[in-house]
């Protein structure tokens, strides 16, 4: 018997810029399909309700919504309740005068929390405020869920701080773009990075990417679900097609199988006499 068996889904899709209503309807249709295949936790791409390539702050503001009052979060909350799902999805968030590249964490009973992207990529810095919530980890009936968004994964501290708070699975809405120097005969660098982070922190990772080209910007797909060992259990998906990845995982393995041998356990072996226990993050609201 698996102590903490969970069926997870990574949804790879192609939002259409600015067509929020259609995009949200598409996300819900894909959530329904994933639920019909047994999914209990579904992860959707970054900014999947609006699209990604903004051309002005006004454009971003016009498409942004409040959480949870906005129509996108409301629609996802309704779908999660109807389908008995947990959902992590990327959304363009408005909070007063500030805009954030955010993700909502939703369960069958409503909004659980939100994550705001800490490390902004490229032109995102022209429109969004860097995340101010740290790296919150949420207790859910399925397990302890943390979030990153895309470029956050390039910072080892991001995964480590979530792991130190007891995260068992990291949900990553993402919009991966081509990386200079990528070997076309190798897996995407983004895949390697999340695989390494899963391995070095004993965490499961569900990374849901988008596909297509938006305003001249191509996206690379290749979503995947990674076990705490660092090896994929579903995917990588294709580079150019909408797909749903499904895997049954046992979140207890993130804790039970953290010991690599009689001597070594990656979180226990940290040299806290050499570097700070919390990597200087104690002041952040996301630290517990």
- In contact, 88 and 104? CB cutoff 8 Å: yes
Provide the strand spans (E) within 52-173.
Answer: 86-95, 98-107, 110-116, 137-139, 144-147, 169-173
122 burial (CB, 10 Å; 0-12 / 13-18 / 19+) is: exposed
Given the residues 150, 153, 171, 243, select the one marked as catalytic.
150
Cα separation values, 182 from 108, 120, 243, Å: 40, 21, 23
The structure tokens 């569900």 sit at 206
Mark whether 117 is an active-site residue.
yes
Given the residues 14, 117, 124, 153, select the one marked as catalytic.
117
- In contact, 148 and 158? CB cutoff 8 Å: yes
Provide the strand spans (E) within 54-155.
Answer: 86-95, 98-107, 110-116, 137-139, 144-147
Number of H helices, E strands in the chain: 7, 14
* Residues contacting residue 247 through CB under 8 Å, at least 6 positions apart: 7, 8, 225, 233, 234
Active site residues: 46, 117, 150
């Amino acid at each position: 018997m698996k102590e903490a068996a969970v069926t997870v889904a990574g949804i790879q899709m192609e939002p259409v810029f600015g067509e929020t209503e259609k995009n949200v309807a598409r996300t819900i249709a894909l959530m329904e399909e994933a639920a019909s295949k047994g999914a209990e936790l579904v992860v959707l791409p970054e900014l999947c309700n609006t699209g990604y390539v903004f051309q002005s702050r006004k454009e971003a503001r016009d498409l942004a919504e409040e959480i949870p009052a906005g129509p996108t979060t409301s629609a996802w909350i309704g779908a999660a309740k109807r389908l008995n799902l947990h959902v992590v999805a990327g959304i363009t968030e408005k909070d007063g005068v500030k805009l954030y590249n955010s993700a909502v964490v939703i369960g069958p009973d409503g909004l659980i929390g939100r994550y705001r992207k800490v490390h902004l990529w490229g032109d995102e810095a022209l429109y969004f405020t860097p995340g101010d919530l740290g790296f919150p980890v949420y207790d859910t009936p399925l397990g302890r869920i943390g979030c990153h968004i895309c470029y956050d994964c390039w910072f080892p501290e991001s995964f480590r701080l979530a792991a130190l708070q007891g995260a068992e699975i990291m949900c990553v809405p993402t919009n991966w773009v081509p990386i200079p120097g990528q070997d076309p005969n190798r897996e995407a660098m983004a895949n390697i990075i999340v695989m390494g982070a899963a391995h070095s922190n004993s965490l499961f990772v569900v990374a849901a990417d988008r596909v297509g080209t938006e305003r001249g910007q191509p996206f690379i797909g290749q979503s995947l679900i990674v076990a705490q060992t660092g090896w994929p259990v579903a995917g990588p998906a294709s580079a150019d097609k909408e797909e749903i990845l499904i895997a049954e995982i046992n979140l207890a393995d993130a804790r039970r199988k953290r010991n690599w041998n009689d001597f070594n356990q990656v979180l226990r072996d940290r040299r806290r006499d050499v570097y700070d226990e919390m990597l200087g993050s104690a002041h952040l609201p996301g630290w517990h």
